[in-house]
Structure 1
Amino acid sequence: MRIGILSYFYPPEPAFIPGSLAEELAARGHEVRVLTGFPSYPAGRVYPGYRQRWSEEITTGGLTVRRVARYPSHDASTVRRMASHASFAASTSLAAPRYFAGIDALYVYDAPATAVAANALLRLSRRVPTVVHVQDAWPRSMQTPPTSATAPPGRLATSGFAGALRRFYRSTHGIAVSAPSMRELVVERGADEQRVRLVLNWTDERIFRPARASREARRAIGHRGRCTIMYAGNMGPYQRIETALRAAATTHSLFDLVLVGSGTEEKRARRLCAELGATNVRFIGRRPADEMADLYNAADYQLVTMRDLPVLHGTVPSKVPAALSAGSPVVASAGGDTADLIERGRAGLSCRPEDWRALADRFALASAIPARARQEMSERARETYLRAMSLRSGVDQIEQMLTEAAHSRR
């Protein structure tokens, strides 16, 4: 098949789903064309080695990647973020008709910025069978995401966008949802229930895999021979890292909390940590992707924290499949699908989101679990990943949906 992929995020940005899907489909003999922007996430600056221009195209084997210009911004400003989304929508709307001419099916990696292009996608999907992979709940709630930890989600600027988005979902041949509750959301918005399929996100299995912790990794996270819980990822408005800091401060004698990564809320989190006197909390900044597996394996648990928002109850963040693939038990301060996945697989512990007292109890329990029971939990984490969300399973399902979409034209 000749397959098009439209995605706002794409490697070398941390966007493993569209990148691995494109590579795997090309490896399976398909001709794949990717349309994306110049990489700038998460810092909001174009990566070294790239220069913004109208377009740049690179072909390797059966995979072609075209990058188009967009306004790079990923900070806390709603105006600048929407400008980035709108500029991407404009660029792809101009480039897509000719670039995707002749393809058999189109895959849309549905991040918020891609959703902004709903009107243009609607016109394109009328000519090309389209499969959309829904990742974020907020467009379906008809709200813009919050820009700080204390700000509520804002209403979208116009009802016209909401209507265009609904029409687009109704026009697609298939919708893959990355969390169980998203199925209900897209059906409520008018999608054909028979065309909605659950395809949980996979992770980079070359990086996130079970392994014995190295001495260097233990030293890198400052492991000092007691229970160590790691938070790895973005520190933004959705993550509510404040909950973990307050919980850690009250249980400082039991375990260490290591935070890997950065984000718009990092400075605020550091100030709060100092105010609380949380001496068991360490910030170690961003680390290269190829180091993360060792860091995961050097910790005893991975932490997931989320805000208590209805739009997040139908979301499973990318750090969950990464942790499970690495065989790392998860402590989750989250509701909805994330908590259900961890509890059903008996792959960790969970509590209500944004409840630091409940999380402190989970931290204390995690610290008290004997080594043998923790190892069994680790094995169940790995089994949960292989059973429910592996790369092979996910790509198989997307490939089948694209094949069905292409056959619908005949």
Structure 2
Amino acid sequence: MKIGIVSQWYPPEPPNIPADLAAELTARGHTVRVLTGFPNYPGGALYEGYRQRWSTVESHNGVTVRRVPLYTSHDSSGLKRAANYLSFAATSAVAATTFLNGADAVYVYLTPATAFAAPALLKALHGIPSVIHVQDVWPDSVTASPLAPRGLAGRAIHRALTAATNQIYRTASAIAVIAPSMRDLLVARGARPEKIRVVLNWANESLFRPVTANADIGRRRRCTFMYAGAMGPFQNVGDSVCAAAAVSDVADLVLVGSGIDEDAARAMAADLKADNVRFLGRRPAEEMAALYAAADFQLVTLRDLPMFRGTIPSKLQAALACGSPVLVSVPGDCAELVEREGVGLACPPEDWRALADRMRQAAKLPPAERAEMSRRAVETYRTRMSLKAGVDAIEEMLEAVS
């Protein structure tokens, strides 16, 4: 097939799903073209070595990639974030009419939802079908953010985004969702159930895999929990710090990454005199597997919001691919999967006391039981979340709609 891929983000930016999909579909004999923006995520500044031009075409291992200009921003300003999303929507839609014309089908990495502008125009002008891979549910992920306005303006934005996203679900020829409950939510919002399929995200398998523990994380003779990733308003890092402070006799917490809530988390650790909480800052992606291996459990946390009951955080796939047992404080599908597959422990979100209890319970597990969790983690990833499993499903969906 001739397949188009639309994603606002693409390597060298972090999201790996679109690039992995493009490479694997090309290896399977398909012709793939990718429409994306100039790299600026997550810092919001244009990557070194790039200069924005209207038509920049690159070739990566047989995949043709066209980059279009966009407003670069990813700070705490809601207006600037909106300008970032909407500018890519506009430039990608214009470019798609020629660059992706003639495609048999288009795959859309649907975050943000505004990335659907180009596929919508292709459908209207040329009848080209699309498969959307919903990564987060709009408008929930927008209006629940502290960046969103409140009051009358907030309600107006919510209504407008609800109408727009519901139209996306109706227009798309097929819908892939990343968790079972997300399917139920989209059906409740008017999407036809027969065109929805659960396709779990996969990890970047070139980076996340079982390795020998040789990274220095300042490990002591206590059970070590690691939180690795963004420290923003949705991740609820503060509860992890509180929980760790309460179990300082048996556990350490190591935080890798950064974000707008990092300073508050550091201040909280200082106020609680939690000397068992350490911040390592951002680390290169190439170091993460070794860092994971140096800890006993990976910590996955999210706030208790309805939109998170139907999502599987990408940190879970990364941890399981590395064979790391997990402790999750996340609502819905993620917690159910962890407990069902026996790959870790779960507790209710936004309850630091429950999280502290689970930390203490995890610290008491014998080494043989942790080793069995690690084995089940790798097996669960390979059978349910791997690159092969995901691309098999998406390829079938693209073939079905073309």
Per-residue CA distance 1:371-400 (angstroms, 9 max, x = gap):
111111111111111121111010011011
The question of whether the paired residues in 2 share the 8 Å contact of 1:36 and 1:67 is answered with yes
The alignment status of 1:283 with 2:250, answered yes or no, reads: no
The alignment status of 1:231 with 2:251, answered yes or no, reads: no
SS of 1:53's equivalent? coil
Please give the alpha-carbon distance, in whole angstroms, between the structure 2 residues aligned to 1:263 and 1:158. Answer: 25
1:262 deviation in Å? 0.6
1:125 deviation in Å? 2.6
The number of residues matched between the two structures is 398
Please give the alpha-carbon distance, in whole angstroms, between the structure 1 residues aligned to 2:14 and 2:321. Answer: 17
The alignment status of 1:274 with 2:270, answered yes or no, reads: yes
Aligned to 1:364: 360
TM-score, with structure 1 as normaliser = 0.93
SS of 2:157's equivalent? coil
1:118 deviation in Å? 4.7
SS of 1:157's equivalent? helix
Aligned to 1:319: 315
C-alpha RMSD of the superposition:
1.9
Q: Which amino acid aligns with 2:53?
A: R
Please give the alpha-carbon distance, in whole angstroms, between the structure 2 residues aligned to 1:197 and 1:234. Answer: 28
Aligned to 2:145: 146
SS of 2:58's equivalent? strand
Q: Which amino acid aligns with 1:316?
A: I
Please give the alpha-carbon distance, in whole angstroms, between the structure 2 residues aligned to 1:290 and 1:136. Answer: 26
TM-score, with structure 2 as normaliser = 0.95
1:329 deviation in Å? 0.5
Aligned to 1:133: 133
Structure 1 residues not aligned, in runs of 5+ = none
1:147 deviation in Å? 3.0
Using a 3 Å threshold, how does the CA distance of structure 1 residues 61 and 328 change in structure 2: closer, same or farther? closer
Aligned to 1:249: 245
Aligned to 2:9: 9
Aligned to 2:68: 68
The question of whether the paired residues in 2 share the 8 Å contact of 1:138 and 1:145 is answered with no
Equivalences for 1:288-307 in 2 at 5 Å? 288-307=284-303
Structure 2 residues not aligned, in runs of 5+ = none
Aligned to 1:85: 85
Per-residue CA distance 1:160-193 (angstroms, 9 max, x = gap):
4432322221122110001111101111122111
Equivalences for 1:369-388 in 2 at 5 Å? 369-388=365-384
The question of whether the paired residues in 1 share the 8 Å contact of 2:110 and 2:116 is answered with no
After TM superposition, which residue ranges in structure 1, 4 or more long, deviate above 3 angstroms? 117-121, 151-156, 158-161
Please give the alpha-carbon distance, in whole angstroms, between the structure 1 residues aligned to 2:353 and 2:147. Answer: 22
Equivalences for 1:395-410 in 2 at 5 Å? 395-406=391-402
Aligned to 1:28: 28
Aligned to 1:179: 179
The question of whether the paired residues in 1 share the 8 Å contact of 2:78 and 2:147 is answered with no
SS of 1:379's equivalent? helix
Identity among equivalent positions (%) equals 55
1:49 deviation in Å? 1.4
Aligned to 1:260: 256
Per-residue CA distance 1:318-373 (angstroms, 9 max, x = gap):
11000011110000111101101111111101111010000000111111111111
The question of whether the paired residues in 2 share the 8 Å contact of 1:177 and 1:200 is answered with yes
